[in-house]
Amino acid sequence: MAGARLFVFPAFVLGLTVVSAYVEELDDKFNENRKSEPWLVEFYAPWCEYCKTFEPIWYDVGAELKSLGSPVNVGKLDTTAHSSVLSDFNIRGYPAIILVKGEKSFEYRGPRTKDGIIEFTNRVAGPVVRPLTSAQLFQHVLSRHDLFFLYIGGRSPLKGQYHKVAAEFIIYNYFFSASEEVLPQAVSLQEVPSIAVFKDGTYYLYNEKRDGNLSDWVGRERFRCYFQMDSFTLYQMGETTKLVALAIVDETNPTTESVRYKALMEKVATEYRDHYNTELALPSLIVMNMTIDGYYLPEQKVETMEELLQFLNSVLNGRSKLLGGNGYVRRMKRLYYRTGFASAPFVTCFLLSLPVGLVVMIVWGVCTAVPVDEDKADEGALLATGTRPAASQRKRTEQTSNESKKED
């Protein structure tokens, strides 16, 4: 057994050394060398614990890209030792993953997994808009990607806009172009050129009159209608003006109820997409209460000064509904749900009824008590000792007369 342990440990160290050989440690000279070839760089800090945990994944990324023949070099840079390099990058946290192509840089904002990082690298390192030259290639893309954008047609001003928007959103999604002949007969176009987004088993066409700016439309459509959310995607959706409906279920222990809940949400998300594909209108008016982190929204659109004054006065008078906040009532409600009482109402009622019932009994006993005078109290005391009141009175009288005779 000891020999086996001695054998496994060196093998593990050797494997780690070989994998780490595909990741280059960078220094201040990186700014000079980055323009000649693409680089995928991890910006880290030695004190960052998550950077240490992420290190094996980063080495696997370097080895995988090397085995795939990718032209992208993989490196890591200590920001505390080479702070001069940071002037060209907006580092907001560690580890920061950025792909550098000449003068341009693209930050990865997805899950810190090997597959997610490699897909991001392959997508961003290649052409911004990839041509689909055959129906077979289109079917391959359709089966491989859950969501992608497609420009259909030849040269046009719309194609120029499409390329600009693709460069803006390439860090999130794939962008393709094709001729009308490449598409299957099931795809019906109203006009050519057109732009479509394929997702959720169907497609949606861009209409400038209805959808407005192309960049805004892509920003709204770059998410599937229904999908499993992660923290990174949630923050991305927070950067938009979309309202997000979440179904909270336990994926590790699925139940019939959770499966039904997920199916219900998916059905509503897909079949009622046009009805609920809404967002907060811009510009919007909001009043913030920074002391309790609450806010107020007008019940109707504010267009005149009178309507604005009415809204502000309703906030001051307390007639406008407070949303969010950290007030006492809000905290009690959050505590109620966090402690699990909301899921067990009968247990909650029983626990709350115990102290309430005790207080009621005490108050009832105090209010229904009958006052007792001194004579009745003495009689009660005598009865308790087994002596009758009349006999006690005669005995007391005899004692008094005897004392008087002695004095005489």
Closest CA to 279 of 246, 244, 303: 244
- List the structure tokens of 167: 């460069």
Q: Does residue 129 contact residue 175 with C-beta atoms inside 8 Å?
A: yes
Q: Does residue 38 contact residue 101 with C-beta atoms inside 8 Å?
A: yes
Closest CA to 58 of 77, 80, 81, 84: 77
β 73-78/39-44 pair status: parallel
- List the structure tokens of 30: 């990186």
CA angle 201, 203, 207 (to 5 degrees): 160
Within 13 Å of residue 304, how many CA atoms lie on the same side as its CB? 3
Burial (CB < 10 A; 0-12, 13-18, 19+), residue 132, is buried
Q: How far is CA 352 from the centre of its chain?
A: 33
Closest CA to 153 of 128, 131, 169, 185: 131
- Candidate list 48, 225, 349, 367, residue with the active-site label: 48
Reported for 53-58, long-range contacts at CB under 8 A and 24+ positions apart, including other chains, are: 54/95, 54/112, 56/16, 57/112, 57/113, 57/114, 57/117, 58/23, 58/95
Tell me whether residue 48 is one of the annotated catalytic residues.
yes
Tell me whether residue 367 is one of the annotated catalytic residues.
no
Q: What is the DSSP string of 268-299?
A: HHHHTHHHH--B--SS---EEETTTTEEE--S
- List the structure tokens of 356: 């309430």
Q: How far apart are CA 185 and CA 102, in angstroms?
A: 41
What type of residue sits at position 10? P
- Candidate list 51, 225, 349, 367, residue with the active-site label: 51
* Active centre residues (catalytic): 48, 51
